[in-house]
């Protein structure tokens, strides 16, 4: 595994606009999860007929012995249905993260700036408006 994948990042590597927390954080390592999510449009993303999108979720923990992040658990899948977009894939990954780690405080890292801004800036009641409202409703339910 490349060392760049497991080195402890500096705060500058993860701007606060790209992370959101699901609960007020009281640092208890066994009750806290760092989760990275991503969605992808795939090889044929410019052609609606061929496009198939997927998502990935990886939980990492900071090793007390090495001081590096190490992957603990990973999930991946495809976006169901005929509507295949990268934002839907990213939202699916967030839903999986919220479902899988419902029993701990979670910090989710995403590179989809529009989704992160929406989560950080707006109240939950406004999330179901606009595109992908079905997925936003599910996220609001899990919140």
CA 116, CA 58: separation in Å to the nearest integer? 17
Residue 71: per-residue pLDDT: 85
Give the predicted TM-score (pTM) of the model. Answer: 0.76
Q: Which of 142, 127, 129, 112 is nearest to 17 (CA)?
A: 112
pLDDT digits (tens, 9 = 90+) for 67-100: 777 888 999 999 988 888 889 999 999 999 999 9
pLDDT digits (tens, 9 = 90+) for 103-124: 888 889 998 988 888 888 777 7
CA 101, CA 31: separation in Å to the nearest integer? 10
Residue 44: per-residue pLDDT: 60
Within 8 A by CB and 6+ apart from 25, the residues are 32, 105, 107
Mean pLDDT, rounded, of the chain: 77
Mean pLDDT of 43-64: 80
Six-digit token pair at 22? 């699901």
Whether 90 contacts 116, CB under 8 Å: no
């Amino acid at each position: 595994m490349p060392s760049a994948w497991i080195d402890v990042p500096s705060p500058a590597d993860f701007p606060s606009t790209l992370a959101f927390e699901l609960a007020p954080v009281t640092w208890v390592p066994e009750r806290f999860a760092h989760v990275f999510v991503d969605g992808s449009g795939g090889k044929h993303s410019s052609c609606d007929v061929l496009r198939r999108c997927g998502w990935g979720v990886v939980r990492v923990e900071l090793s007390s012995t090495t001081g590096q992040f190490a992957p603990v658990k990973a999930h991946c899948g495809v976006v169901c249905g005929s509507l295949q977009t990268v934002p839907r894939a990213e939202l699916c990954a967030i839903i999986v993260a919220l479902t899988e780690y419902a029993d701990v405080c979670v910090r989710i890292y995403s590179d989809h700036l529009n989704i992160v801004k929406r989560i950080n800036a707006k109240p939950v009641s406004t999330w179901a408006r606009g595109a992908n409202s079905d997925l936003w409703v599910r996220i609001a339910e899990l919140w």
